[in-house]
Amino acid sequence: MNRRLARHTLITRLRAQRPVIPDQEVRRLYDEVAASGLVEEIEPLIANVKGRRCTLSLEALLVGMALAAQRNSGVVTFTTVTNLLYFSLSGAMREQLCLHRYPDHDRGFEAAYAVVRRRLHSILKAIDPSPLPKNHRLARRHAEKVLAKADPQALARKRARLLRVSNMILGMSLREALPLLEEHWDGSVSLDATAIGTYAKGLPPHSPVTSTDPDAGWYVRTTRHQDPLALADLTPAESAGGRQKTSGQKKTERIKKRLFGYDASLVVARDPEHHGAPLPDGSANPDVVPALIVAFSVDKPSHRPGQVAVEALQHVDDRFPPRLPGR
């Protein structure tokens, strides 16, 4: 009963704050989805999925995900996709996307939500490189048996699919920056590893059960990361332990940071001849390539850092120029 009331409250709030999305924006996103190659990449992966016929096309789902990302700082949830796709578009646009019309009440919303959820889960199942179930804890012994029975080659193929699809989605966000990259970027990049936390709570390695996100791992840092270029003007005492301490100041404590999640290797486009800082008025310099993430790969923290970095470099979009003419 409490869950039903919470769901009713959420749907009521979504209905009260529901935006009206212009048809021009939907058509633009539809064209971007069509040009991205994602439909041709994903459609064969889910073509043989058994079960009831899905009334939600892959193109419409990707448009809904793009709408959700634009309005939630890149965060895409099933609830937001359902709200925008089925209840925020005009009637004419819903007909063009072949979307089933659901009544605008709790049961209608939940029916539309179920369609979105099934469609997304069919895609995730085709590209999930882990045999472990998510969202609930498993006995560690059982998890080890599941991993032992899994086909490593099949998992490797799914991982390749995951990276390919994820980087194609990233490529969609770089479409407007493509002319700038073609004109000013010479292919120089930097690699940066960054930790990404999960919503799941991590458990000790010797715990008898796994986390609800069993494929993540612990990222641990015990010292302060210092940029060598930023230490050039510091004294030896400052570079060794921060600012010099005077009598009465407490001893600086060591940094201890723990985070349960993943490690992302980012390929960042850089201009080696310019720093990319904004102009004096705060606007971006139109002649300098900003720091843009052009590809990435993800794995457990400190699991395979070298291989993961190479994977990320291999997924830089072929549309990006390797070198400028004459360089």
What digits encode the pLDDT tens for the residues 219-276?
Answer: 887 766 665 544 455 555 544 444 444 445 455 555 557 889 999 999 988 877 777 6
DSSP 22-54: PHHHHHHHHHHHHHHTHHHHHHHHHTT--SSPP
What digits encode the pLDDT tens for the residues 188-198?
Answer: 888 888 899 99
- Distance CA(69)–CA(121), nearest Å, equals 18
CB-count burial class (<10 Å; 0-12, 13-18, 19+) for 189: buried
Q: In which region does residue 29 sit, left (phi positive, over 0), alpha (psi from -120 to 50) or beta (all else)?
A: alpha
Closest to 309 measured CA to CA, from 298, 301, 318, 300: 298
pTM recorded for the entire structure: 0.80
Whether 4 shows a pLDDT value over 90: the answer reads no
What digits encode the pLDDT tens for the residues 148-160?
Answer: 999 999 999 999 9
If you search the block for the tokens 């612990």, which residue do you land on? Answer: 218
